Amino acid sequence: MTKPSTRRPDHPPFAFVLFGGTGDLAMRKILPALYAAHRDGLLAPEGQIVAVANTALDSSGYLRWVGEHVKPHIAGTPLDDSVWRSFLERIAYVALDASQPEAFSLLGNTLASGHGRRIFYLATGPALFVPICRALASAGLTEGSRIVLEKPLGYDLESSNAINDAVGQIFKEDQIYRIDHYLGKEAVQNLLALRFGNSLFEPLWRREWVESIQITVAEELGVEGRGNFYDQTGALRDMVQNHLLQLLSIIAMEPPRSMDADAVRDEKLRVLRALKPVLGDEIRHNVVRGQYHAGAIKGASVCAYHAESGVGQGSTTETFVALKAEVENWRWAGVPFFLRTGKRLAGRIAEIVVNFRPVPHSALGPTALRPGSNRLTIRLQPNESIRLSALAKQPGMGMTLQGVHLDLAFDQFFQQDRMEAYQRLLLDVIGGRLALFVRRDEQEAAWRWVAPIIEDWLGNASPPKPYASGTWGPAAASALLARHNTCWPEEEN
């Protein structure tokens, strides 16, 4: 077991203030990630964690809460009691109502002793982002600090701009960290390494050789008690506008001049601005929205979306989206990007599939002409890996081709433990590295692209297409790809 290092690490002293400190995100992701960084000796000894919530607890009560709710979500090596106790020594708790600015003097008193740069992580609903920032400013706590904003940042382009405008009056752009945890995943980092660290793929990474690209983020879970939130959000806002479009921009971006934050984000922005608008009849032809009905997940019966707690009667909120996007530039013109995400699907998968064009003529039979014979699959979850699919001759007489795979499973090839996405991103916030965070103009470009779809759905009386829980979504999602002579990976023979 690796114990916290007594050597001063590269990361500077900090005071990490976690708003929403008793919430689900704090318990499942943020505090486990900070514990892992502490366990691995990656946090400065002077670093302090201050949890803030409206729950009436004293410090000892909060630490008991943390022990009960955080420990089950700590991955990796077995938990060491001495390391856990030393982690708890970093944590203080402040009970306050974030909507009451006068209460922030309590927080100021806790931070008065000084523990380095202040980092304010807003793991709250977006309605509290602006009040919290204004209260921090009124309490004189924002000078030289950093602010981390969780998604969703608004409900549409207008509300997103309103939040960004208000936060931008208090914090400079280089102080604002808009987090998208998919950008911290090891496989996404390896996608950058694969593209820009090797000469093998770059000549093929263009319209002449790529037939289509598919991005899937599928969940087996439903709304999991978040019906009130999800019914006002839906899959398009919750997943497509941020996670999927960020992945698309990384796949399609031009090589940056360096890995500096703005160099990388400038190239992603160019992709988002080059997305062909989806308007009018194209929305009905190229966008599928669905909603799960009752079914079974791994043999267990689950209810329909409209029966979930907090979901409105007769709700038309989508729990599934599949769509075709196009990037209008020289590299990608004419190549369809198929994006798909949904809840209560047949499996938990996040992956990117790059389908290369088949050979123009085959002397070896029709197998070599079959779409999908040559592809690159980047798996983000559950097991991060990269797979290259090709054709080879079967042993024996004749020239019969069969698909073969070259696999890189990160957990098998690399012996060291992989860093979880939130741990990497939190260390980047502490270290002041912005490359893996979303810049405001990126966010605006993404909202601008999905806005016509949102507006069309608001004015469209037709309900989402139903699909049974435990399936891969409505049949219309398969038909969308069939019109382009391709299919989703699970539909292949």
Q: Which of 11, 115, 243, 293 is catalytic?
A: 243
181: annotated binding-site residue?
yes
Overall size of the chain counted in residues: 493
Known active-site residue 243: yes
Angle at 382 between CA 221 and CA 225, to 5 degrees: 20
Identify the burial level of 161 via C-beta atoms within 10 angstroms of its C-beta, where 0-12 means exposed, 13-18 middle and 19 or more buried. Answer: middle
Identify the burial level of 192 via C-beta atoms within 10 angstroms of its C-beta, where 0-12 means exposed, 13-18 middle and 19 or more buried. Answer: middle
Q: How many C-beta atoms surround the C-beta of residue 100 within 10 A?
A: 11
CA dihedral (58, 64, 65, 67) in degrees, to 10, reads 150
Measured distance CA(69)–CA(25) in Å, rounded: 11
219: annotated binding-site residue?
yes
Chain centre to alpha carbon of residue 442: 15
165: annotated binding-site residue?
no
What are the structure tokens assigned to 324, written together? Answer: 């075709």
What are the structure tokens assigned to 452, written together? Answer: 């016509």
185: annotated binding-site residue?
yes
Rg, C-alpha atoms of the chain: 24
The bridge status of strand 287-293 relative to strand 320-326 is antiparallel
Q: Which residue in 137, 22, 101, 15 sits closest to 68, CA to CA?
A: 22
Number of Cα atoms under 13 Å in the Cβ half of residue 242? 27
Q: Which residue in 486, 438, 492, 443 sits closest to 178, CA to CA?
A: 438
Annotated binding-site residue numbers for substrate: 181, 185, 219, 238, 343
Active-site residues, by number, are: 243
**Known binding-site positions:** 151, 181, 185, 219, 238, 343
Annotated binding site for NADP(+): 151
